[in-house]
Amino acid sequence: MYEFFEHTADIGLRIRATTLPEVFNEAARGLFSLIVENPEVIQPADRRIIHLKAESVELLLFDWLDHLLYVFDAEHLLCNRFDVTIDELSLTATLWGERLDLSRHVLAHEVKAITYHDLKLKQIDGEWLAEVILDI
């Protein structure tokens, strides 16, 4: 489950999940629901495989979202389906989506960057909690 929270001139994305891969999946869904108002119309026409490594799980989450934002900015690829596997500090993910089509996709926010500010990812009482601030 993801939700948004207010942050000075930015927007926060808070994710609660039972597994670490689910955190990454929900974070990606949250990012694209900020970019486009109607993510449910995104078709799984294009499939990509992503491999990332980082020095911590927090940085892996940052790199994941940053990479997804890059894919949108550079290729105009909107995604709404993600299969994420995490092994220690490595991520392998398959994502499905399609190129932005303004006749069907309604843009919501321009996400300029994923920030390190107040980035957190921790396990509390068997549940994962993540918070990421997005510069809009």
Q: How many CB atoms lie within 10 A of CB 101?
A: 12
Going along the chain from its start, the domains and CATH numbers come out as 2-135 (3.55.10.10)
DSSP characters over 48-117: EEEEEE-SSHHHHHHHHHHHHHHHHHHH-EEEEEEEEEEETTEEEEEEEEEE--TTT--B-----EE--T
59 pLDDT more than 80: yes
Predicted confidence (pLDDT) per residue in 74-122, tens digit: 999 999 999 999 999 999 999 999 999 999 999 999 999 999 999 999 9
Question: CA 47 to CA 68: how far, in whole Å?
Answer: 13
Work out the pLDDT band at 1, boundaries 50, 70, 90.
Answer: confident
Predicted confidence (pLDDT) per residue in 8-31, tens digit: 668 999 999 999 999 999 999 999
Write down the pTM of the prediction: 0.92
For position 7, what pLDDT does the model report?
61
